[in-house]
Chains A and B, each alone.
Chain A
Amino acid sequence: MVAATSRNVAVVGSAQTQLKAAWSDRQHVDLISEAVARALLGTGLRIEDVDFVIDSGSDFLDGRSISNCGFLGAMGAHHKEESRVEEDGLWSALYGATKIASGSASVGLIVAYSKSSESDPNDYWTSLAEPFTQRPVGLDQNAVAGLFAQRYLTRFGVPASALRAVTHRAWAAADGNTFVDATLEMLQDEYWSQEIASPLRRSDMARPVDGAVAVLLASKDVARQIGGSPVWVTGMGSAIDQHFIAARDGATLPAAAAAASAAYRMAGASGASDFDIVEVSAGSTAGELMVLEALGMAEPGKAIDLYADGASPGLNPSGGALPADVVMASGLVRLHEVAAQLGGRSDHAPQGARRGLAHASGGLGMQNHCVITLETS
């Protein structure tokens, strides 16, 4: 297949609001506009240069139908081409990149946001399950994470206590990330002890936060005009697993592996080891290990080794999604992070990084996965 996207589309700007537990004094539109305005800053591009907007948000989280309809002005989408992808913003970025690679547009704005603090996040998650047999028995995001974690830990003989290293590392990184409100001090005793879905504790679960993120994609010509060091899109892939959680393997994520291999093929990458930065979004600590294994960063059951002191400096330098999960946007935050780190716009970039990978997951028990790879010239 011709990879028209490969090195023909660049991330030329990106920004996020601070991610915090509750932006109770701001509306969605305020967060969105802040992210969009900041993404434009320093690019020399103005809103009128943007050809199209692709956005990710959730009617269920927003409490309104076709919620993009009410946020078009705040996104800068007035009288532009616009579409809503009701999945994490990384899928919107994938759409936007194809639109530029196809030659039908030059500059695209990708927006993703949520304010899960405005509703019970469980309502969002449980409503993802088919309503006849899975929803009534009490399936939610915590239960599926617990069921799959038990599978993973027992199959590979990893003790649940080992997961503390995943939490600790993620929160330590987030502590150093000024755009995330999480600090190590917040990891109080009850975080470690409160059982949410055995074998997982509160400290193992992704923490929902509010926020918005915007990414500007541009064609090769526009990226060259802007100058600086463009960050090129080199590969993209996505894949979904079957719906019924009991029918999935649980201890491995074959859909994530399929998404990654499609992206690697397009990028001409030999595997995960080609990437200096890997930013992933997972719903739980055990889930994060499964994602890393699916990406090929470790053999099945061995990803915990990546969390040894000093190992893998390029793994989730931002902290990943565990300390700050913006539902519908965590994957696009990862893309923003990778682009900012590669483009010299981040204070937590690993030294000398040239290639990076952003991963998103969606659905109950991470049913759906998306991978985008980036590279600086």
Chain B
Amino acid sequence: MGYSVHGPKARTGGQGQGLLPKESLYLIEICKGLFITMRHLVRNVFHMGDMPTLQYPDEKPDYGPWLRGRHRLMKREDGSPRCVACQMCSTICPADCISIMAMDDDRPDVEKSPETFDIDLLRCVYCGLCVEACPCDAIRMDTGIFEIAADNRAAFQVDMDFLLNNTTDGVKS
């Protein structure tokens, strides 16, 4: 039942509804509440270190290896991208934020490789489906980088060069 503002119902059933007489006196309950909050305050003043708050930029959370951080592209031994531009990642991507242009590769053992590989990090929802979809383990989200901030949109449009050299700083091993 909702509440009604007027009428006898409000008077009899509105305020003290479901309360014991002792409770509907309020004052005692209020004092109890005040003691609870005071207990928290005192405990926190004297055991400041036990508070769960993280002093964020100074202390970084440890999300563990399962964190889906900023993407990186893996390299072959010769430093070229491992990606074969199959575009499975951009096909599965729910945010439609990966755009790849493929090219014929002249190398004897590489038939197809990406000419461009761009990710729009502003659109990305960090779902990790691209990593799951990749048949070549060419794209990973294990950099541990989760602070993705900039003051202009262009900075979020990352290209193949950036992704290949994306640092793995912050990876907690």
Do the two chains bind? no
Q: Which residues from chain B sit less than 8 Å from chain A, CB to CB?
A: none
Q: Which residues from chain A sit less than 8 Å from chain B, CB to CB?
A: none
